[in-house]
Amino acid sequence: MDRISWDQYFMAQSHLLALRSTCTRLAVGATIVRQKRIIAGGYNGSIAGGTHCADEGCYVIDEHCVRTIHAEMNALLQCAKFGVPTEGAEIYVTHFPCLQCSKAIIQSGIKKLYYSENYKNHPYAIELFNQADVEVKQVKFNAESLEPLVSHTVPGSQ
């Protein structure tokens, strides 16, 4: 049986998380992984119980929606909330992180960043990742590559 790579598996998780996004400008998902195990996931959306962009539109200041918490930050905050260490972990994100999320990723001790799509890749974020020895790698995600696996019939399930 053919299996997808770990990178494609975790990137698929991030793309699945992005489907929960409530931001109408860009749906983003993030998955934090340590030792090939998912420890947290997040998507961009409003604070718990808050008004969502999908309901009332984005609240844009200086070209950024300030209503949402970014996917990377939501995943990092989930780890903080439940006491899950991120030192030495990896993060898979559907889009290159913004500058603020890049700094939070570095500060959290994450050592590898995998992203699927370029998105306003800030030169200073790239510089900071280099300074902090965070490995940055683009992993293009191809949803069509999952179709043969999804349609695969499990023996005895008919």
Give the catalytic positions in this structure: 72
**Distance between CA atoms of 111 and 45, rounded to whole angstroms?**
25
What backbone torsions phi and psi does residue 45 show, to the nearest 5 degrees? -170, 175
**Distance between CA atoms of 139 and 43, rounded to whole angstroms?**
18
CA-closest candidate to residue 43, choices 76, 66, 10: 76
Instruction: Write the burial class of residue 31 (CB in 10 Å: 0-12 exposed, 13-18 middle, 19+ buried).
Output: buried
Instruction: Write the burial class of residue 32 (CB in 10 Å: 0-12 exposed, 13-18 middle, 19+ buried).
Output: buried
Q: The tokens of 146 are what?
A: 């999952």
Identify the bridge partners of residue 137 per DSSP, sorted by sequence position. 114
